[in-house]
């Protein structure tokens, strides 16, 4: 089943013709409306008229998260503020988030693409969608919500947290589809067991899991414990939010990236060179229908590969492989993006704390945990225990306020964290996917 059959099964030559037309319109739009892109295209010696084939995409400079940060909050918008009807944000590498804006048409496109994404996962009108992605500045909750309504399914806007209540609602409301991070789904299954609820007895049929990397082994575990078909979804707020790519239920083999709206490329993260199909590298995406904040060659930092091999579902859109990591140091903790530099910028502002720290990430009972070990100065370390406890609580609170992630702060003796020559090791990730 396809939601936009005409577009999803468009023969490649026709799809590429459409992509070129939309790319040309996008380049013209940002050249005219976004000073950053005018400078960037000028510096590459490009005018909008120079984009004559899809190969010309490679001549366009990249856009990075740093560029978005430098344009905080609205300088990359290509539409006047009075046409922006929604604003979302995701965490940046320091305290300031990355901001995106949507016009009415962008919100409409997003709902359509998210509806398409649901249908690709085998979801239809009549399904009861339990949406446990977070609602708020994060795009997950509202993105899935609008798509579910567009499809005509019944959506339960649960958001994250309060697991016991989630389980009760799923059981009583007869939810047939679950959307959340893969690790949260396993955590819920375990909580259910403790509550004496057999997850396998629920009506859940399909789970759409994303916002963090996972593996085939984890898929098998989820499908076994939740008695549903577990499928991978991909999206990021900079590009749109959830619904950029989705695994089809027919093949369960790679995620179709919606190529009538997004142009994917895989590059070598070191050299920036475009890599051949099937080679692992960093995913770069150009948006070709957005009005609010179109992005040219945005470096997602996600590591994957791309194939245009035909898929048995009949869709002609390229497939990206499961995300296998990041080309930067971003951590995904319970679905939330966290950069070590964000935590560092909090620590350096707290008196008595040394700029030596290490983040220890683990997964206990399927829930990610973060411990922040940080050195305190000599004087403080010999201080009363209650002062140290107050300091640890302050660190935990400030990290929670800025990143949204709950952590445990552990104060350690001066000079006890191993020093390294060259790039300091800031993260120990003990999670096994
Ligand atoms: Zn397919």
User: What is the mean pLDDT for each group of 10 consecutive residues in the chain (433 residues)?
Assistant: 97 98 98 98 98 98 94 97 96 78 98 98 98 94 98 97 95 97 90 90 96 87 95 97 98 98 96 96 98 98 96 98 87 87 85 88 90 89 84 94 91 85 79 76
Summarize pLDDT for 352-391 with one digit per residue, the tens.
888 789 999 999 888 899 999 999 988 887 778 888 899 9
For 87, the token pair is 């604003």
Please choose, from the candidates 71, 132, 96, the residue with its C-alpha nearest in 3D space to the C-alpha of residue 339.
Answer: 96
pTM of the model: 0.88
Cβ density class 32-49: b for 16+ within 10 Å, e for less = ebbeebeebbeeeebebe
**Is the Cβ–Cβ distance between 427 and 371 less than 8 Å?**
no
| Ligand 1 centroid from CA 199, angstroms | 28
Cα torsion for 199, 202, 208, 213, to the nearest 10°? 0
| Ligand 1 centroid from CA 317, angstroms | 8
| Ligand 1 centroid from CA 119, angstroms | 12
| Ligand 1 centroid from CA 289, angstroms | 23
- Cα 245 to Cα 315: distance, rounded to the nearest angstrom: 12
| Ligand 1 centroid from CA 222, angstroms | 21
96: number of Cβ within 10 Å: 14
| Ligand 1 centroid from CA 121, angstroms | 10
Q: How many CA atoms lie within 13 A of 128 on its CB side?
A: 13
pLDDT of residue 390: 92
- Cα 17 to Cα 12: distance, rounded to the nearest angstrom: 8
| Ligand 1 centroid from CA 325, angstroms | 23
List, in order, residues 6 or more apart from 304 with CB less than 8 Å away.
266, 280, 281, 283, 320, 321, 322, 323, 324
Identify any residues that bridge with 285 across adjacent strands, giving them in sequence order.
264, 298
What 3-state DSSP class applies to 160? coil
Q: How many CA atoms lie within 13 A of 171 on its CB side?
A: 16
Q: What is the DSSP letter of 58?
A: G
Q: What is the DSSP letter of 74?
A: T
| Ligand 1 centroid from CA 68, angstroms | 33
For 6, the token pair is 């005409």
| Ligand 1 centroid from CA 48, angstroms | 34
| Ligand 1 centroid from CA 252, angstroms | 7
Please choose, from the candidates 304, 299, 308, 301, the residue with its C-alpha nearest in 3D space to the C-alpha of residue 321.
Answer: 304
| Ligand 1 centroid from CA 101, angstroms | 30
Q: What is the DSSP letter of 174?
A: T
**Is the Cβ–Cβ distance between 361 and 429 less than 8 Å?**
yes
| Ligand 1 centroid from CA 5, angstroms | 12
Helices (H), 131-230: 139-151, 163-173, 182-194, 216-226
| Ligand 1 centroid from CA 311, angstroms | 5
| Ligand 1 centroid from CA 186, angstroms | 26
- Cα 272 to Cα 294: distance, rounded to the nearest angstrom: 21
Summarize pLDDT for 119-138 with one digit per residue, the tens.
999 999 999 999 999 999 99
């Amino acid at each position: 089943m396809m939601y936009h059959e005409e577009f999803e099964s468009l023969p490649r030559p026709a799809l590429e013709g459409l992509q070129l037309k939309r790319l040309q319109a996008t380049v013209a739009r940002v050249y005219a409306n976004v000073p950053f892109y005018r400078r960037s295209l000028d510096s590459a010696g490009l005018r909008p008229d120079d984009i004559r084939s899809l190969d010309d995409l490679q001549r366009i400079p990249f856009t990075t998260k740093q560029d978005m940060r430098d344009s905080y909050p609205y300088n990359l918008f290509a539409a006047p503020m009075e046409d922006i009807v929604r604003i979302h944000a995701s965490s940046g590498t320091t305290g300031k988030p990355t901001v995106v804006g949507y016009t009415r048409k962008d919100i409409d496109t997003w709902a359509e693409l998210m509806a398409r994404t649901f249908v690709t996962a085998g979801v239809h009108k009549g399904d009861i969608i339990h949406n446990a992605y977070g609602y708020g500045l994060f795009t997950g909750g509202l993105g899935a919500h609008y798509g579910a309504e567009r499809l005509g399914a019944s959506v339960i806007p649960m958001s994250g947290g309060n697991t016991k209540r989630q389980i009760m609602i799923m059981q009583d409301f007869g939810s047939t589809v679950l959307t959340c991070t893969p690790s949260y789904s396993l955590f819920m299954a375990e909580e259910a067991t403790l509550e004496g609820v057999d997850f396998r007895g629920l009506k859940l049929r399909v789970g759409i899991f994303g916002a963090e990397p996972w593996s085939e082994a984890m898929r098998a575990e989820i499908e076994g414990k939740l008695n549903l078909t577990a499928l991978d979804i991909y999206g990021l707020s900079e590009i749109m939010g959830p619904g950029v790519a989705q695994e089809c239920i027919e093949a369960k083999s790679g995620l179709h990236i919606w190529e009538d709206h997004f142009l994917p490329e895989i590059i070598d993260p070191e050299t920036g060179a475009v890599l051949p199909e099937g080679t692992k590298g960093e995913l770069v995406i150009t948006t070709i229908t957005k009005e609010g904040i179109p992005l040219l060659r945005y470096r997602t930092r996600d590591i994957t590969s791309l194939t245009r091999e035909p898929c048995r579902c009949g869709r002609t859109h390229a497939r990206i492989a499961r995300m296998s990591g990041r080309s930067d140091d971003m951590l995904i903790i319970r679905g939330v993006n966290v950069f070590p530099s964000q935590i560092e910028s909090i620590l350096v502002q707290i008196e008595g704390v040394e700029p030596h720290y290490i983040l220890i990430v683990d997964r206990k009972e399927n829930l990610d945990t973060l411990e922040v070990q940080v050195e305190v100065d000599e004087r403080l370390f010999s201080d009363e225990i209650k002062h140290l406890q107050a300091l640890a609580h302050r660190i935990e609170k400030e990290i929670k306020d800025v990143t949204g992630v709950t952590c445990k702060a552990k104060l350690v003796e001066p000079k006890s964290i191993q020093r390294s020559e060259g790039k300091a090791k800031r993260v120990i990730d003990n999670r096994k996917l």
